Structure 1
Amino acid sequence: MEPKEWYYRLGEQTFMVSTKPELLSHDFIQDSFADPIMYWAKPVSSENLKIMLDNSCLVGLYLKSPEPLPSSESPVAPLQSPFNFTQIGMARLVTDYTTIAFLTDVFVVPEHQGKGLGKWMIQCVKELTDAMSGLRRIMFMAKNAPHAVKFYEELLDAKVHDQERSQVVFMSNRTAGLDA
Protein backbone atom coordinates (compact mmCIF):
# COMPACT_ATOMS: atom_id res chain seq x y z
CA MET A 1 0.00 0.00 0.00
CA GLU A 2 1.32 3.42 -0.92
CA PRO A 3 2.11 5.72 2.03
CA LYS A 4 -0.59 8.25 2.87
CA GLU A 5 -0.64 11.54 4.76
CA TRP A 6 -3.43 13.67 6.20
CA TYR A 7 -3.21 17.15 7.76
CA TYR A 8 -5.33 18.82 10.40
CA ARG A 9 -5.13 22.35 11.76
CA LEU A 10 -6.24 23.13 15.30
CA GLY A 11 -5.75 26.76 16.25
CA GLU A 12 -2.12 27.59 15.54
CA GLN A 13 -1.03 23.95 15.53
CA THR A 14 -0.74 21.67 12.51
CA PHE A 15 -0.97 17.91 12.92
CA MET A 16 -0.20 15.15 10.46
CA VAL A 17 -1.18 11.49 10.29
CA SER A 18 1.15 9.46 8.12
CA THR A 19 1.85 5.85 7.20
CA LYS A 20 5.42 6.65 6.10
CA PRO A 21 7.65 4.25 8.05
CA GLU A 22 10.65 6.59 7.87
CA LEU A 23 8.83 9.14 10.06
CA LEU A 24 8.28 6.73 12.95
CA SER A 25 10.19 7.38 16.15
CA HIS A 26 11.33 4.07 17.61
CA ASP A 27 11.96 5.83 20.93
CA PHE A 28 8.39 7.19 20.95
CA ILE A 29 6.97 3.75 20.25
CA GLN A 30 9.04 2.11 22.99
CA ASP A 31 8.14 4.90 25.46
CA SER A 32 4.47 4.47 24.55
CA PHE A 33 4.68 0.73 25.15
CA ALA A 34 6.16 1.49 28.60
CA ASP A 35 3.39 3.98 29.47
CA PRO A 36 0.80 2.63 31.96
CA ILE A 37 -1.95 3.93 29.64
CA MET A 38 -0.93 1.15 27.21
CA TYR A 39 -1.51 -1.52 29.86
CA TRP A 40 -1.61 -4.25 27.20
CA ALA A 41 1.87 -3.52 25.84
CA LYS A 42 5.46 -3.40 26.99
CA PRO A 43 8.69 -2.36 25.25
CA VAL A 44 10.28 -4.92 22.94
CA SER A 45 13.86 -5.45 21.83
CA SER A 46 15.14 -3.29 18.97
CA GLU A 47 15.21 -6.36 16.75
CA ASN A 48 11.61 -7.27 17.56
CA LEU A 49 10.49 -3.66 17.10
CA LYS A 50 11.99 -3.67 13.60
CA ILE A 51 10.22 -6.97 12.79
CA MET A 52 6.94 -5.61 14.18
CA LEU A 53 7.18 -2.40 12.15
CA ASP A 54 8.22 -4.23 8.98
CA ASN A 55 5.14 -6.46 9.26
CA SER A 56 2.51 -3.90 10.28
CA CYS A 57 0.93 -0.74 8.98
CA LEU A 58 1.77 1.79 11.65
CA VAL A 59 -0.09 5.07 11.50
CA GLY A 60 1.82 7.88 13.18
CA LEU A 61 0.28 11.06 14.59
CA TYR A 62 2.64 14.03 14.50
CA LEU A 63 2.74 17.66 15.64
CA LYS A 64 4.48 20.08 13.29
CA SER A 65 7.01 22.39 14.88
CA PRO A 66 6.09 26.06 14.54
CA GLU A 67 9.38 26.93 12.83
CA PRO A 68 11.06 25.43 9.76
CA LEU A 69 14.25 23.45 10.28
CA PRO A 70 17.43 25.55 10.08
CA SER A 71 18.70 25.85 6.55
CA SER A 72 21.75 23.80 5.66
CA GLU A 73 24.16 23.77 2.78
CA SER A 74 22.38 20.85 1.18
CA PRO A 75 18.94 21.47 -0.29
CA VAL A 76 15.94 19.70 1.19
CA ALA A 77 15.15 16.48 -0.64
CA PRO A 78 11.95 16.75 -2.71
CA LEU A 79 9.99 14.41 -0.41
CA GLN A 80 11.43 15.75 2.84
CA SER A 81 9.47 18.38 4.72
CA PRO A 82 11.34 21.53 5.76
CA PHE A 83 9.46 21.29 9.07
CA ASN A 84 10.15 19.06 12.00
CA PHE A 85 7.35 16.72 13.06
CA THR A 86 7.25 15.24 16.56
CA GLN A 87 5.41 11.97 17.02
CA ILE A 88 2.58 12.27 19.56
CA GLY A 89 0.43 9.25 18.76
CA MET A 90 0.01 6.04 16.83
CA ALA A 91 -2.29 3.23 15.79
CA ARG A 92 -1.10 -0.07 14.38
CA LEU A 93 -2.81 -2.37 11.89
CA VAL A 94 -1.63 -5.95 11.69
CA THR A 95 -2.95 -6.82 8.26
CA ASP A 96 -2.53 -8.74 5.04
CA TYR A 97 -3.88 -5.60 3.25
CA THR A 98 -6.50 -7.79 1.58
CA THR A 99 -8.86 -9.69 3.85
CA ILE A 100 -8.22 -8.92 7.53
CA ALA A 101 -6.90 -6.19 9.79
CA PHE A 102 -6.30 -6.21 13.54
CA LEU A 103 -6.20 -2.73 15.07
CA THR A 104 -3.96 -2.36 18.11
CA ASP A 105 -1.68 0.05 19.97
CA VAL A 106 -3.93 3.09 19.61
CA PHE A 107 -2.30 5.83 21.68
CA VAL A 108 -2.16 9.62 21.94
CA VAL A 109 0.09 11.28 24.52
CA PRO A 110 -1.97 12.65 27.44
CA GLU A 111 -1.14 16.30 26.75
CA HIS A 112 -2.81 16.03 23.33
CA GLN A 113 -5.83 13.97 24.38
CA GLY A 114 -9.25 15.60 24.40
CA LYS A 115 -8.58 17.58 21.21
CA GLY A 116 -10.24 15.15 18.79
CA LEU A 117 -6.87 13.90 17.49
CA GLY A 118 -7.51 10.25 18.40
CA LYS A 119 -10.85 10.41 16.62
CA TRP A 120 -9.21 11.97 13.56
CA MET A 121 -6.45 9.33 13.58
CA ILE A 122 -9.03 6.52 13.68
CA GLN A 123 -10.93 8.21 10.82
CA CYS A 124 -7.66 8.06 8.85
CA VAL A 125 -7.33 4.35 9.78
CA LYS A 126 -10.89 3.81 8.52
CA GLU A 127 -9.99 5.50 5.24
CA LEU A 128 -7.06 3.07 4.93
CA THR A 129 -9.19 0.03 5.65
CA ASP A 130 -12.00 1.24 3.38
CA ALA A 131 -9.42 1.23 0.55
CA MET A 132 -8.79 -2.49 1.16
CA SER A 133 -11.57 -3.65 -1.17
CA GLY A 134 -11.61 -7.31 -0.13
CA LEU A 135 -11.40 -6.65 3.59
CA ARG A 136 -13.64 -9.08 5.47
CA ARG A 137 -13.14 -7.87 9.00
CA ILE A 138 -11.43 -5.30 11.19
CA MET A 139 -10.89 -6.70 14.66
CA PHE A 140 -9.62 -5.17 17.86
CA MET A 141 -9.98 -5.23 21.60
CA ALA A 142 -11.09 -2.21 23.57
CA LYS A 143 -11.54 -1.35 27.19
CA ASN A 144 -15.03 -2.36 28.29
CA ALA A 145 -16.07 1.17 29.14
CA PRO A 146 -19.08 2.95 27.66
CA HIS A 147 -17.01 5.81 26.18
CA ALA A 148 -14.51 3.42 24.54
CA VAL A 149 -17.18 1.14 23.11
CA LYS A 150 -19.18 4.13 21.81
CA PHE A 151 -16.01 5.63 20.26
CA TYR A 152 -15.36 2.55 18.12
CA GLU A 153 -19.02 1.84 17.39
CA GLU A 154 -19.37 5.33 15.92
CA LEU A 155 -16.06 5.57 14.08
CA LEU A 156 -15.67 2.03 12.77
CA ASP A 157 -19.26 0.78 12.87
CA ALA A 158 -17.97 -1.96 15.19
CA LYS A 159 -19.99 -4.30 17.37
CA VAL A 160 -19.14 -5.90 20.71
CA HIS A 161 -19.01 -9.68 20.63
CA ASP A 162 -20.53 -11.30 23.75
CA GLN A 163 -18.11 -10.21 26.47
CA GLU A 164 -20.23 -8.11 28.80
CA ARG A 165 -18.55 -9.02 32.10
CA SER A 166 -14.96 -8.70 30.91
CA GLN A 167 -12.80 -5.60 31.35
CA VAL A 168 -11.82 -5.84 27.68
CA VAL A 169 -14.24 -6.37 24.82
CA PHE A 170 -13.62 -7.91 21.43
CA MET A 171 -15.05 -5.77 18.67
CA SER A 172 -15.14 -6.09 14.91
CA ASN A 173 -16.55 -4.55 11.80
CA ARG A 174 -18.08 -6.85 9.21
CA THR A 175 -17.92 -6.03 5.54
CA ALA A 176 -18.51 -7.88 2.30
CA GLY A 177 -21.89 -9.22 3.47
CA LEU A 178 -20.52 -11.89 5.80
CA ASP A 179 -22.92 -13.91 7.95
CA ALA A 180 -23.09 -13.36 11.71
Structure 2
Amino acid sequence: MEWQRYDYRISTEPSRLQRELIHELLRQHYWSKDVSSALVDKAIAGSLCFGLYRDDAQLGFARVVTDKATFAYLAEVWLDPELEEPALGEWLIATVLSHPDLQGLQRVLLSDPQVHELYRRHGFNAPAHPEHWLEIFNPELCREAPHILH
Protein backbone atom coordinates (compact mmCIF):
# COMPACT_ATOMS: atom_id res chain seq x y z
CA MET A 1 0.00 0.00 0.00
CA GLU A 2 1.06 3.56 -0.51
CA TRP A 3 0.03 6.99 0.78
CA GLN A 4 1.20 10.36 -0.48
CA ARG A 5 1.30 13.82 1.09
CA TYR A 6 3.02 16.64 -0.77
CA ASP A 7 6.55 15.42 -1.65
CA TYR A 8 6.41 12.53 0.82
CA ARG A 9 5.23 8.96 0.47
CA ILE A 10 4.63 6.14 2.93
CA SER A 11 4.84 2.63 1.54
CA THR A 12 4.50 -0.89 2.90
CA GLU A 13 6.40 -2.32 -0.08
CA PRO A 14 9.25 -4.37 1.48
CA SER A 15 11.53 -3.99 -1.55
CA ARG A 16 11.64 -0.21 -1.05
CA LEU A 17 13.05 -0.48 2.48
CA GLN A 18 16.67 0.63 2.69
CA ARG A 19 17.79 -2.03 5.10
CA GLU A 20 21.35 -0.78 5.58
CA LEU A 21 19.99 2.64 6.57
CA ILE A 22 17.40 1.07 8.89
CA HIS A 23 20.13 -0.99 10.54
CA GLU A 24 22.40 2.04 10.89
CA LEU A 25 19.68 4.20 12.42
CA LEU A 26 18.45 1.49 14.78
CA ARG A 27 21.99 1.13 16.09
CA GLN A 28 21.89 4.79 17.14
CA HIS A 29 19.20 3.99 19.74
CA TYR A 30 20.07 2.63 23.17
CA TRP A 31 17.55 -0.19 22.75
CA SER A 32 19.18 -1.63 19.65
CA LYS A 33 22.76 -0.36 19.62
CA ASP A 34 24.24 -3.83 19.18
CA VAL A 35 21.65 -5.28 16.80
CA SER A 36 23.00 -7.21 13.82
CA SER A 37 21.89 -6.56 10.25
CA ALA A 38 20.81 -10.22 9.99
CA LEU A 39 18.49 -9.78 12.96
CA VAL A 40 17.05 -6.55 11.51
CA ASP A 41 16.36 -8.42 8.25
CA LYS A 42 14.66 -11.24 10.14
CA ALA A 43 12.53 -8.79 12.16
CA ILE A 44 11.49 -6.94 8.99
CA ALA A 45 10.58 -10.22 7.25
CA GLY A 46 8.20 -11.16 10.08
CA SER A 47 6.54 -7.76 10.40
CA LEU A 48 4.33 -5.24 8.68
CA CYS A 49 6.74 -2.40 7.87
CA PHE A 50 6.19 1.17 6.77
CA GLY A 51 8.82 3.32 5.06
CA LEU A 52 8.58 7.10 4.80
CA TYR A 53 10.23 8.49 1.66
CA ARG A 54 10.92 11.68 -0.22
CA ASP A 55 11.78 10.65 -3.77
CA ASP A 56 14.07 7.62 -3.27
CA ALA A 57 15.44 8.70 0.11
CA GLN A 58 14.07 6.84 3.13
CA LEU A 59 13.34 9.31 5.94
CA GLY A 60 11.41 7.16 8.39
CA PHE A 61 10.42 3.67 9.40
CA ALA A 62 7.82 1.90 11.53
CA ARG A 63 7.55 -1.82 12.23
CA VAL A 64 4.45 -3.62 13.53
CA VAL A 65 4.36 -7.20 14.80
CA THR A 66 0.80 -8.47 14.44
CA ASP A 67 -1.50 -11.42 13.96
CA LYS A 68 -3.80 -9.05 11.97
CA ALA A 69 -6.77 -10.34 13.97
CA THR A 70 -6.51 -9.40 17.65
CA PHE A 71 -3.11 -7.96 18.52
CA ALA A 72 -0.36 -5.66 17.27
CA TYR A 73 2.86 -4.38 18.77
CA LEU A 74 4.37 -1.19 17.39
CA ALA A 75 7.98 -2.23 17.80
CA GLU A 76 10.10 0.50 16.21
CA VAL A 77 9.48 3.98 14.91
CA TRP A 78 12.15 6.41 13.79
CA LEU A 79 12.43 9.53 11.68
CA ASP A 80 15.56 11.01 10.18
CA PRO A 81 16.84 13.40 12.87
CA GLU A 82 17.55 15.97 10.14
CA LEU A 83 13.86 16.26 9.30
CA GLU A 84 12.39 19.61 10.22
CA GLU A 85 8.80 18.52 9.66
CA PRO A 86 7.35 17.23 12.97
CA ALA A 87 4.02 16.60 11.24
CA LEU A 88 5.66 13.72 9.35
CA GLY A 89 5.93 11.70 12.58
CA GLU A 90 2.26 12.32 13.28
CA TRP A 91 1.40 11.27 9.73
CA LEU A 92 3.52 8.11 9.96
CA ILE A 93 1.81 6.99 13.20
CA ALA A 94 -1.66 7.86 11.85
CA THR A 95 -0.94 5.92 8.66
CA VAL A 96 0.29 2.87 10.57
CA LEU A 97 -2.81 2.86 12.77
CA SER A 98 -5.15 3.28 9.77
CA HIS A 99 -3.73 0.30 7.85
CA PRO A 100 -6.55 -2.14 6.97
CA ASP A 101 -4.73 -5.09 8.58
CA LEU A 102 -4.68 -3.25 11.91
CA GLN A 103 -8.38 -2.44 12.15
CA GLY A 104 -10.63 -4.09 14.73
CA LEU A 105 -7.76 -5.32 16.89
CA GLN A 106 -8.43 -5.86 20.57
CA ARG A 107 -5.05 -4.51 21.63
CA VAL A 108 -2.21 -2.46 20.15
CA LEU A 109 0.85 -2.05 22.34
CA LEU A 110 4.05 -0.07 22.22
CA SER A 111 6.80 0.87 24.59
CA ASP A 112 8.63 4.17 24.31
CA PRO A 113 10.17 5.99 27.26
CA GLN A 114 10.33 9.38 25.55
CA VAL A 115 7.48 10.47 23.27
CA HIS A 116 4.34 9.52 25.17
CA GLU A 117 2.52 12.70 24.14
CA LEU A 118 2.87 11.85 20.44
CA TYR A 119 1.35 8.43 20.99
CA ARG A 120 -1.36 9.69 23.36
CA ARG A 121 -2.59 11.94 20.56
CA HIS A 122 -3.20 8.74 18.59
CA GLY A 123 -5.17 6.99 21.34
CA PHE A 124 -2.43 5.19 23.30
CA ASN A 125 -2.69 5.22 27.09
CA ALA A 126 -1.18 3.34 30.00
CA PRO A 127 -2.57 -0.21 30.24
CA ALA A 128 -6.01 -0.30 31.86
CA HIS A 129 -4.90 -3.22 34.03
CA PRO A 130 -1.11 -3.17 34.31
CA GLU A 131 -1.39 -5.80 37.04
CA HIS A 132 -2.47 -8.28 34.34
CA TRP A 133 0.73 -7.91 32.35
CA LEU A 134 3.85 -9.97 32.85
CA GLU A 135 7.00 -10.05 30.80
CA ILE A 136 10.18 -11.95 30.28
CA PHE A 137 12.89 -9.38 29.82
CA ASN A 138 16.49 -10.33 29.30
CA PRO A 139 18.66 -7.32 28.44
CA GLU A 140 21.43 -9.58 27.17
CA LEU A 141 19.09 -11.05 24.55
CA CYS A 142 18.18 -7.53 23.43
CA ARG A 143 21.46 -7.32 21.59
CA GLU A 144 20.14 -10.09 19.39
CA ALA A 145 16.40 -9.33 19.43
CA PRO A 146 15.53 -5.63 19.20
CA HIS A 147 11.80 -6.29 19.19
CA ILE A 148 11.84 -7.36 22.85
CA LEU A 149 13.51 -4.21 24.05
CA HIS A 150 10.49 -2.00 24.44
Bucket of the pairwise TM-score, normalised by the shorter protein: 0.7 to 0.9
Closer/same/farther in 2, CA of residues 100 and 113 from structure 1, 3 Å limit: farther
- TM-score, normalised by the number of residues in structure 2: 0.77
User: What one-letter code is carried by the residue in structure 1 that aligns with 2:102?
Assistant: M
Residue identity over aligned pairs, in percent, reads: 30
Residues 82-115 of structure 1 show CA distances to partners (whole Å, capped at 9, x for unaligned) of xxx1111101101111111000211001111443
Deviation at 1:134, TM superposition (A): 4.1
Are positions 1:159 and 2:146 aligned together? no
Task: Give distance in 2, aligned partners of 1:120 and 1:90.
Answer: 12
What does the per-residue CA deviation read over 1:42-79, in whole Å, with 9 as the maximum and x for residues that have no partner? 35334323221110111111111xxxxxxxxxxxxxxx
- The one of the two structures with greater contact order (alpha-carbon pairs below 8 A, sep at least 6) is 2
Larger helix share, 1 or 2: 2
What is the RMSD of the two structures over their aligned residues, measured on CA atoms?
A: 2.0
**Residues 43 and 59 of structure 1, relative CA distance in 2, 3 Å threshold:** farther
Bigger strand fraction: 1
Amino acid aligned to 1:60 = G
Amino acid in the other structure paired with 2:121: E
1:166 aligned partner: none
In structure 2, the CA distance between the partners of 1:28 and 1:43, relative to structure 1 (3 Å rule), is: farther
The runs of at least 4 consecutive aligned structure 1 residues that moved more than 2 Å come to 42-50, 130-134
Tell me whether 17-26 or 39-48 shows the greater mean CA deviation: 39-48
Q: Paired residue for 2:109?
A: 139
Where does residue 5 of structure 1 map in the other structure?
2
Given the alignment, which residue of 77, 98, 102 partners 1:127? 98
* Cα contact 1:98–1:134 (8 A) shared by 2: yes
- Is the counterpart of residue 45 in structure 1 residue 15 in structure 2? no
- In the alignment, structure 1 segments of 5+ residues that lack a partner are 65-84, 164-180
1:23 paired to 2:40 = no
2:53 to 53, 62, 85: 62
2:87 corresponds to which residue?
Answer: 116
Within 5 Å, give how 1:64-79 maps onto structure 2.
64=55
CA distance in 2, matches of 1:92, 1:131: 13
TM-score, normalised via structure 1 length: 0.65
Q: Which amino acid aligns with 1:149?
A: H
